[in-house]
A and B are shown apart, each in its own frame.
Chain A
């Protein structure tokens, strides 16, 4: 047991150490180039200046960050739920699936962010419009993945439950939903990675508050460290959300192999 854990620790260290070292080298290189003046500071300030901008603008970043986070998380949850319900509806009828699923597939080729101006025209500027855009952008991946996932369960299980006279709801709960879990989390990961950036881009043309608005307005006033501070905060929030999804995936499906690069 202890030997196994030792090997496990070693493997973990081997997975974590190289990227951390590379990241440290990249940041050191960036700091060095900035100090030498090789990178113009109006384009990319030194890491130290961006960090001090985060500290100096903490209250502003907090105020805008809360708005963007609520839009991103709210849209992510609403869109995911709507996609889940829609996929269960589609999975229940072949006719519905044949009619709507091809259109959902085609929607993958539609740049959802480009639809933002239409939503802003329809709903008006502000939070609800941004929330709607984020919801749409996480709705379709969930719908597509879950429509596939709900049919992924082994047909033998269906036959077994049929023999046991299980109801439709029991089949959904015991066979189809557990079988669809990998697809569910794949969709969640897509939605988590895109929700903050979708909200920020939406705020560019559809809101007067939020991290996306802060990025644009700092750019217009040439407050470049503030601009990068907002980008840093939004990246951290995105990574946090993705990490939460990945952690809940491991909790929900302990039998699945960890998604690590080898």
Chain B
């Protein structure tokens, strides 16, 4: 790794922060709409309990949705992949369903299930389900045909073929879907909380922005960004451990 590839981004990042701090402290922009970075950071020190408890609710919703949606997607992909008919009928619909604005269904779900955590978990699960289904189906089919034939001559059963051939071959595809969902499950949870909730980061964002407490809005968005980045980082770390043979290929956030 070259020095400039670390130094460059750091300098740009710190430069942007400095310009932001200067813009607010010299009064170029109204503190009402753009708080200084120091004010945002000091809020974390001033009221850590408020931010932490709301972040906990949102994280719980996002994680549950992430888990449920991905498990269902993977299971259905394994079920469908062996039958060409179901594969050809399900895959195009699943790809089409990805462009349906599922998040927009939130108001209906909230009417149906109340403004607790359930509708948010459902939305997050729905949002991550289709990418996992599509990617896992592609991945499970990407296994080398010759290896499949070898397993056939070794009279391996269906489960052994799945476990030894198809799942390892599908791993890169599965992790692509996981990286996507690690970020989007937080979006789903927060956005669903905007519509109706009494807890969570999304609730905090709506409440604070209606009262022009810009520092609180920034703090909530920062926590959300940080947690989703941490989640993506975790997935990337697991990916490296799960597929050590790809480790040399460089940046895997790509």
Cβ A122 vs Cβ B183 within 8 A: no
In the assembled complex, how far is the CB of residue B5 from the closest CB belonging to chain A, in whole angstroms?
A: 5
A209 at the interface (CB under 8 A from B): no
B140 interface contact, C-beta 8 A: no
Contact B111 A196 (CB under 8 A): no
B173 proximal to A (CB < 8 A): no
Asked if A102 CB lies within 8 Å of chain B CBs, one says yes
**18 A-B residue pairings within 8 Å (CB atoms):** A22-B89, A43-B108, A43-B109, A43-B111, A44-B108, A98-B4, A100-B9, A102-B8, A112-B187, A114-B187, A117-B205, A118-B217, A118-B218, A121-B217, A201-B104, A204-B195, A205-B194, A239-B99
How many B residues have CB within 8 A of the partner chain? 61
B residues less than 8 Å from A34 (CB atoms): none
Number of A-B contacts (CB under 8 A): 170
Chain B: which residue is nearest A241 at the CB level?
B99
Q: In the complex, A70 Cα to B85 Cα: how many Å?
A: 40
Q: Are B108 and A228 in contact (CB under 8 A)?
A: yes
Which chain B residues (27-49) contact chain A, with CB distance < 8 Å? 33-34
Extra pairs beyond A43-B112, A99-B12, A234-B104 (6, CB < 8 Å): A22-B89, A109-B231, A110-B229, A117-B217, A224-B111, A235-B100
The answer to the question of B128 belonging to the interface, with a C-beta cut-off of 8 Å to chain A, is no
User: With a CB–CB cut-off of 8 A, which chain B residues contact A218?
Assistant: 107
B93 → chain A, closest Cβ, in Å?
5
- At the interface, yes or no: B82 with Cβ under 8 Å from chain A? no
Q: Interface-forming stretch among A13-21, A79-87, A151-159?
A: A13-21
Binary per-residue interface labels of chain B (219-236) against chain A in the complex, 1 for a CB within 8 Å, 0 otherwise = 001001100110111000
Contact A98 B101 (CB under 8 A): no
Chain B residues 180-195 with CB under 8 Å of chain A are 182-184, 186-187, 190-191, 194-195
Residue of B nearest to A22 (CB): B89
The reply to whether A201 and B107 form a contact with Cβ atoms under 8 Å apart is: no
Interface string of B72-94 (1 = CB under 8 A from A): 00000000000001011111110
Q: What is the CA–CA distance of A68 and B194 in the complex, to the nearest angstrom?
A: 19
- Please measure, in the bound complex, the distance between the C-alpha atom of A14 and the C-alpha atom of B88, giving whole angstroms: 8
Number of A interface residues, CB 8 Å?
Answer: 60
The proximity string for A residues 207-241 relative to B, scoring 1 for CB distances below 8 Å and 0 otherwise, is 00001100110111010100110110011001100
Q: Which parts of A222-262 form the interface with B (CB within 8 Å)? A: 222, 224, 227-228, 230-231, 234-235, 238-239, 242, 261
Closest Cβ of chain B to A50, distance in Å, is 11
Distance (Å) between the CB of B111 and the closest chain A CB?
Answer: 6
Chain B residue with minimal CB distance to A219? B107
**Complex Cα spacing A21 to B109, Å:** 28
Residues of A within 8 A of B88 (CB): 14-15, 18-19, 261
Which residue of chain B has the shortest Cβ distance to A196 in the bound complex?
B101
Q: Tell me which residues across on chain A come within 8 A of B221, comparing CB atoms.
A: 114-115, 117-118
Proximity string of chain B (96-124) to chain A, C-beta cutoff 8 Å, 1 when within and 0 when not: 10111101110111111000000000000
Question: Is A108 interfacial (CB-CB < 8 Å)?
Answer: yes
Cα distance A193–B26 in the bound complex, in angstroms: 41
Q: Are A102 and B9 in contact (CB under 8 A)?
A: yes
Q: Which residue of A lies closest to B231 (CB)?
A: A109
Asked if B209 and A19 make an inter-chain contact with CB atoms under 8 angstroms apart, the answer reads no
Q: Please, which residue of chain B has its CB at the minimum distance from the CB of A192?
A: B99
Is residue B214 contacting chain A, with contact meaning CB distance below 8 A?
yes
* A98 CA to B8 CA, complexed, in Å: 6
- Knowing A200-B104, A219-B111, the reply to whether A122 touches B33 (Cβ < 8 A) is yes
**A4 is an interface residue with CB less than 8 A from chain B:** no
Tell me the nearest residue of chain A to B32, going by C-beta: A121
Question: How far is it, in angstroms, between the C-alpha of A158 and the C-alpha of B186 when the chains are bound?
Answer: 43
B245: Cβ under 8 A from any A Cβ: no
Report the Cα distance A214→B145, complex, angstroms. 51
Q: Does B150 contact A (CB under 8 A)?
A: no
Quick check: B89 and A98 within 8 Å, CB to CB?
no
- Flag whether B242 is at the interface (Cβ < 8 A): no
Closest to B187 in A: A111
In the complex, what residue of chain A is closest to B101 when comparing beta carbons?
Answer: A197
Nearest chain B residue, comparing its CB with the CB of A201: B191
Contact A100 B12 (CB under 8 A): yes
Q: Does A160 contact B (CB under 8 A)?
A: no
CB interface residues, A 39-53, toward B, < 8 Å: 40, 42-44
Contact A261 B103 (CB under 8 A): no
Evaluate whether A120 and B183 lie within 8 angstroms (CB atoms) in the complex, with A14-B88, A204-B195 already known. no
Of the residues B8, B104, B206, B231, contact of A95 by C-beta under 8 Å: B8
Cβ-based interface call for B13 (8 A): yes
B13 touching A103, Cβ below 8 Å = yes
User: A120, B12: Cβ atoms under 8 Å?
Assistant: no
With a cutoff of 8 Å between Cβ atoms, the chain A residues found around residue B34 in the complex are 121-122
